[in-house]
Chains A and B, each alone.
Chain A
Amino acid sequence: MRLLTHNMLASNVRGVTSGYPLKLEATNWCTKEVDLNADFIRGLLPKIDWRALVAATRALNLPELLPEEQPSEEEIFAEGAANVEGSAIRRIHHALLEIHVQQGALICPESGRSFPIEKGIPNMMLHEDEV
């Protein structure tokens, strides 16, 4: 499961009004390199919940990867930034698309319900008494 997927998942256990963002607990994760596509990131960014993304990187013990505040668009999409090691767009690209959580859990912030992540696939199925 990439952090981009985590950013779009929400808990919908019965009675929960805001099951977002899910708390990430990862016991095993890895990175896989993907080519950077600045236009893709540009289209994606308005839909990303920055705080949830930052919280996810912190949960993976990567406090340096992303700043608390979202960098400005000018900074992210500055000319040539994609080729600069450690630039904002590269870090965002790495956080969203290159980190794969293999094993762990997603915890609903309201009910505490734990959704398992197995072999990189989060299981969001609810039990019968939760719907």
Chain B
Amino acid sequence: MAASSAAARRLLLLRHRHLLPKRHLSSPFSSTSDGLDDGGGGGGRVKIFDRDLKRRHRDRAAWAAGETDALTGTVAENLLDRLEDCRKAFPSALCLGGSAGAVRRALRGRGGIEKLIMMDMSADMVKKWREVDDATGDGLETHFVVGDEEFLPIKESSQDLIISCLGLHWTNDLPGAMIQVTFLI
């Protein structure tokens, strides 16, 4: 009964479209004022991902995640495999977000990394990495920082290698993040 009355109302609305103010009918893509403005404060930056929400997701993921994960372990393994093709050593490395825990486990002395900074937006995630590192430490100098990949809080020219394993696809401004990454090396 309720469903049919709702359908009738919708039909009525469709019939009387011409009575509605015009701007409500126009597509957001053809409109000049609607759809483009996000309500201000964005400073012209396009906001695709809600970074704050993402950070909270990662906080939660930190509690839910197990010690090891076969999928991220395999991805980290494939990524770090490339270090074996390099003759150069990278004493100072920075690992940005994503599965940094898997990178840390899979590193096993590759790339000549002597000091690793593990950074993530989520404080709980970083805390978790630290707890794991404290328990299983293999002597690699590991540093922990909470920071945003879009606004890297690291000094210029201070790193030899930047790794990100499944971490940068949530950034709104990927080119901006990559530019900052090049400054760090």
Contacts and interface: CB of A to CB of B under 8 A. Distances in A.
A131 B145 contact: no
A8 B146 contact: no
Interface majority SS (helix, strand, loop, mixed), chain B: mixed
Interface in B116-148: 117, 121, 123, 126-127, 130, 141, 143-148
Say which size band chain B's interface belongs to: 20 to 34
Nearest to A127: B52
Interface string A2-24: 10110111111000000010000
Interface of B: 41, 52, 55, 91-92, 114-115, 117, 121, 123, 126-127, 130, 141, 143-148, 150-159
A121 B158 contact: no
A47 B148 contact: no
A43 interface: yes
Interface majority SS (helix, strand, loop, mixed), chain A: mixed
A50 to B, nearest CB: 13
Given A10-B154, A12-B151, A47-B92, 18 more contacts: A2-B141, A4-B143, A5-B145, A8-B117, A8-B158, A10-B155, A12-B153, A40-B91, A43-B91, A43-B114, A118-B123, A121-B126, A121-B146, A124-B153, A125-B147, A125-B148, A131-B148, A131-B150
A119 B155 CA distance: 22
Interface in A101-131: 115, 118-126, 128-129, 131
Given A7-B155, A47-B157, A124 B148 contact: yes
Given A8-B117, A97-B141, A124-B146, A44 B151 contact: no
13 contacts: A1-B143, A1-B145, A2-B141, A7-B155, A7-B158, A8-B154, A9-B145, A44-B91, A44-B115, A47-B92, A115-B153, A124-B148, A125-B121
A77 B158 CA distance: 22
